[in-house]
Amino acid sequence: MNIFDLDDRVAAAAVAAAGTVIGSLVQLRILWRKETSERSRGVPASKKTRRGPILAVCLLLIGAAVGGFAFSRYLVQQSDVASAAMRAQLQTQLAQISATAERLERATQSDHSSSSKAVADGPRDADGVTVTTTVGPCRAAAVAADAAPTCDEHDAPRVTLCASVPSLAAVTVMDLYARPEDSSQPWTRVAPGQEAGRTRFADKVIERAETDQTKQVCTGFSSWDGETAYSARLVVKYVIAPAASEASNAQLVPISGMAK
C-alpha cells in the first residue's frame, strides 16, 4: 500500500488531524509549564487556567477522531483498489476463457461440417498400389538331338502379380506394363490378354481375400522369349467407398476368375 496515494478528502482529513494533535500537544506543554511556574511562585490557579488543559485535551480528542477517520478511509480506499484490481484480473481471465471456448466451438463445428461433407460426397482421391516382378528367359527342351531348343507360349513360365488393397476398396483403374529387363526404354502399357512381343498378361483378373482387413487383386503374366528376361508391372488404383452400394457403383474394372 502506498501511503502517499490518497484521495484528496482523506489527505485533507489526515493533515487536519495531524495539525490538531500537534497544536493540542503544544498548548498542553505551554499550559503545563505555565501552571508549574505559577505554583512555584504560590499564585492560586484561576478558573480560566483550569479550563485550559481541558480545552487542549478536547482538541486532542477531536484531532485523534479526525485522524482515525482519515486512517479508516485510507484502509477502505486501499481495499477498494485491491478489489478493483482483482475484479479486472478476473474479467480478463473470463474474457480469455470465453474466447478460447468460442475458438474450440468453431473448430468443432468446422470438423463436423468437413466430416459430414466427406460422407455426403463420398470418396474422391484414389490411392494406388504398384507391384513389379521379373520373368527370366524361357527354357524349353529340344525336340531333336541336333535342334536348338525353342520356346513357345505353351512352354512359357507364368507368374502371378498380386496387389494388396483394403477389403473395402473399390478398384477404379488397373494398368498393366511390360518391358525387357534393365531396359532404358519406357514402360509399354499393355491391355489384358494382349500379346506384347513374346509376352502376354492374362485377360482376366481375380480378387481374393488376404486378411480380415485386406484383399488381393491379381493377374497372370507369361513370357516365352528364350533370350531376354522381361519385367512386368501391375498398377492398381482404388477408392474406399463408405457403403457397399457405393463400392459396387465405383468399381470400373470387372473382376472374375482368372483364366488358367
Tell me: the pLDDT tens digits for 218-250? 999 998 888 889 999 999 999 986 654 444 454
Contacts of 175 (CB under 8 A, 6+ apart): 189, 234, 235
Q: Looking at the predicted structure, is the pLDDT value of residue 135 above 60?
A: yes
State pTM to two decimals.
Answer: 0.44
Q: How far is CA 211 from CA 83, 92, 128, 167, in A?
A: 68, 57, 19, 8
> Cβ(163)–Cβ(236) under 8 Å?
yes
Q: CA 29 to CA 188: how far, in whole Å?
A: 123
Q: How far is CA 92 from CA 81, 106, 212, in A?
A: 17, 21, 55
Structure confidence at residue 8 as a pLDDT band (50, 70, 90)? low
> Cβ(21)–Cβ(66) under 8 Å?
no
What are the extents of the domains in the chain? 8-120, 127-250
* Summary mean pLDDT of the chain: 76
Q: Which one of 67-71, 74-78, 168-172 scores highest in mean pLDDT?
A: 168-172
Give pairs for 1-10: CB < 8 Å, separation 24+.
1/78, 3/74, 6/74, 6/77, 7/73, 7/77, 9/73, 10/70, 10/73, 10/74, 10/77
**pLDDT score for 255:** 43
C-alpha 169, offset from chain centre: 30
C-alpha cell at 7: 484521495
Q: What phi, psi does 69 have (nearest 5°)?
A: -60, -45
Q: Which residue would you say has higher pLDDT here, 58 or 162?
A: 162
Q: Looking at 108-122, 198-212, 218-232, which range is the least confident one?
A: 108-122
Burial of 232 (0-12, 13-18, 19+ CB in 10 A): buried
Task: Give the three-state DSSP class for 200.
Answer: strand
Helix (H) or strand (E) holding 59: helix 47-121
Q: Which residue would you say has higher pLDDT here, 29 or 198?
A: 198
